[in-house]
Amino acid sequence: MKSFFFTFSVILLTLPLFGQPDQWSPVPGSDSLNVYREMDYSENLDLTVYTSGMYYNGNRVLAGFDGEDWIPLTDSITGWPLTFEDWGDGIVLGGTASQINGQQMPYAAYYNGESWSFPWEFDGSVQKFKTINDTLFALGFFTHIDGQEAFKIAKLVGDEWVGMLDPHPGLEGPGLFTDIAFFDGNYYVGGNFNPDGLPWNFAKVVDGQLESVGQGITGAWAGLNNIEVYQGDLYLSGSIPMQDGNLGNHMLRWDGEFYHNLGPILYTDTGAMQGAGIISMKPDNGYLYFAGNFFFFDDVPIYGVARWDGSEWCELYTQEFVQDTEFYQPVWGIGFFENQLFMLKPFFYDEETLDFDGLWTYDTSQDPNFCIQPLHTSEPGNETKIQVFPNPSTGNITLESESPLKRISAFDAMGRLVFRESIQNKNNHQLNLNHLPKGLYLLQIRGSGFEKTEKVVLE
């Protein structure tokens, strides 16, 4: 396998480069990347593969980065490859109608490190390949694989694909599944789906049917891009607007019983919640990384990429891009290679050339710029002691806190906000929930410098 190295010095001499932080380095050849797409590390190939390819000698090729050079994996590629995953001794590639080295790809292909083959025939695009417990899963717009029925979600059992979802009229056209995870004995799927009678955008797959997970992810522009198991819980990210009744703002944690927010409210550069969102969420080396369109976590400036360790958020010097850059853009993707974090975003601009795609790398072994423990978190680790009694209760509940209380919110078992009350900095408060039906509720208690959650039962 030959390598090629794009000369970058000429570009740096001819185009103005704005906002380059000392902690981030431009990846050579990143001006040749094709559009905005994801990248991931392949252990089989020992490369970080950029899914949409790049331009080399006038041709668009699929390529991977080995830490120093770009390695071409094809002579040419067309169409829209969208996903790849390690499988066998190489990788499987999925996408829309594409050609690899002049051959038509039936929405999926296999590369063994030397040559390409087409082991399966999907009748529609593959949006996601993912391996869970050594089993390969596929999600997409297909209804058959190798002539056998497999409706939008399938797993590879031996040499045959087996469908996991029964056909449903409401999912034939618009239903899009983007990710799958195995959590607490069940398969969960996320995406953009809300047909009549089915849960919105997040569901369990049980015996060929979709089952609700709380209220799902609601809103006209809501949808999930990624779901990942991290530290024993299931994390969700995408477009999750808080203003549409969701508990979190583009990020949520599901513990098997309740949704929890992850702390901050995300804002764009204009200070608005609308338009913010998470494009990519990936675990690496014990951390969970988020990337997308955000400029602030609450009122703290954190731009485009943030790191979560289960209790606090860390900023990785990306704010320096914003301070000196005229042309703001979201971060469209992240990936990893050894201790390098890759960030895909436009990085320079002038009147003649406008903006170019850029790939930057950051050494994850260094300390972050700063970390915060936001007030809006429902994660463990807060030291403020709160007593909530009696529990169970008929509806009259006493709250006693070491620190002044500011606001109490109650959510039902479906994750819906059913009660909210502001408190004038009192350490003790009588809460009246007599009007709510019997059942299990989650109290979100916000005070001076803290926020906690408590489960209460009304009977």
pLDDT band of 273, cuts 50, 70, 90: low
Q: How many domains does the chain have?
A: 2
The verdict on 349 and 217 lying in the same domain is yes
pLDDT, greater one: 269 or 28 = 28
pLDDT at 269 over 80: no
The verdict on 150 and 236 lying in the same domain is yes
CATH code of the domain covering residue 89: 2.130.10.10
The answer to whether position 368 is within a domain reads yes
Amino acid, single-letter form, for residue 39? M
Range of the domain at 107: 9-372
CB neighbour list of residue 236: distance below 8 Å, 6 or more residues apart: 190, 202, 217, 224, 226, 227, 251, 252, 253, 254
Give tens-digit pLDDT for 2-59.
Answer: 333 332 222 222 233 344 557 888 888 776 776 556 789 999 999 999 887 788 777 8
The verdict on 424 and 349 lying in the same domain is no
The answer to whether position 205 is within a domain reads yes
Give tens-digit pLDDT for 228-251.
Answer: 999 999 999 999 987 677 877 799
The verdict on 331 and 283 lying in the same domain is yes
CB atoms within 10 A of CB 266: 26
* Mean pLDDT value across residues 413-417: 62
The verdict on 348 and 435 lying in the same domain is no
The verdict on 407 and 363 lying in the same domain is no
Among 350, 372, 394, give the residue marking a domain's end: 372
Amino acid, single-letter form, for residue 427? N
The answer to whether position 154 is within a domain reads yes
Give the per-residue pLDDT at 28: 82
* Mean pLDDT value across residues 136-147: 97
The answer to whether position 380 is within a domain reads no
The verdict on 257 and 312 lying in the same domain is yes
CATH code of the domain covering residue 453: 2.60.40.3080
Among 320, 338, 372, give the residue marking a domain's end: 372
Least confident of 34-43, 169-178, 325-334, 381-390: 325-334
The verdict on 366 and 417 lying in the same domain is no
The answer to whether position 379 is within a domain reads no
The answer to whether position 4 is within a domain reads no
The answer to whether position 295 is within a domain reads yes
The verdict on 317 and 431 lying in the same domain is no
Among 345, 372, 399, give the residue marking a domain's end: 372
Mean pLDDT of the chain: 83
The verdict on 270 and 294 lying in the same domain is yes
pLDDT, greater one: 151 or 4 = 151
The verdict on 24 and 48 lying in the same domain is yes
The verdict on 214 and 318 lying in the same domain is yes
